[in-house]
């Protein structure tokens, strides 16, 4: 997420529904997604450009990593 220009507070406000889906066909550079004003600092909604390599890894995060983090938090009574 370092190369996206997102602030830490903006990153932590993202949900899986805010993140880009599958990479667009033929796109080998960056893919953009909309950062809504409700998440953006000072309401500065804008396009965020994410490396396609990172977009390709998002399904793994959604299916494996995120599930594990949520379950660990639930086990501790935090989530």
Tokens in use for 17? 């529904």
Claim: this prediction has a pTM higher than 0.85: no
Spatial separation of the C-alpha atoms in residues 38 and 54, rounded to whole Å? 23
The confidence band for 20, taking pLDDT boundaries of 50, 70 and 90, is confident
52 burial level (CB within 10 Å; 0-12, 13-18, 19+): middle
| Residue keyed to tokens 């995060």 | 61
On the CB side of 38, CA atoms within 13 Å amount to 4
Average pLDDT in the 19-40 region?
81
pLDDT value for 43: 92
3-class state of residue 30 by DSSP: strand
Q: Is the pLDDT of residue 55 over 80?
A: yes
């Amino acid at each position: 997420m370092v190369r996206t220009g997102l602030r830490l507070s903006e990153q932590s406000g993202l949900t899986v529904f805010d993140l880009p889906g599958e990479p667009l066909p033929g796109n080998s550079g960056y893919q953009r997604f909309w950062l809504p004003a409700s998440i953006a600092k000072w309401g500065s909604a804008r396009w965020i450009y994410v490396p396609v390599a990172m977009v390709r890894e998002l399904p793994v995060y959604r299916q494996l990593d995120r599930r594990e983090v949520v379950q660990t938090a639930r086990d501790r009574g935090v989530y």
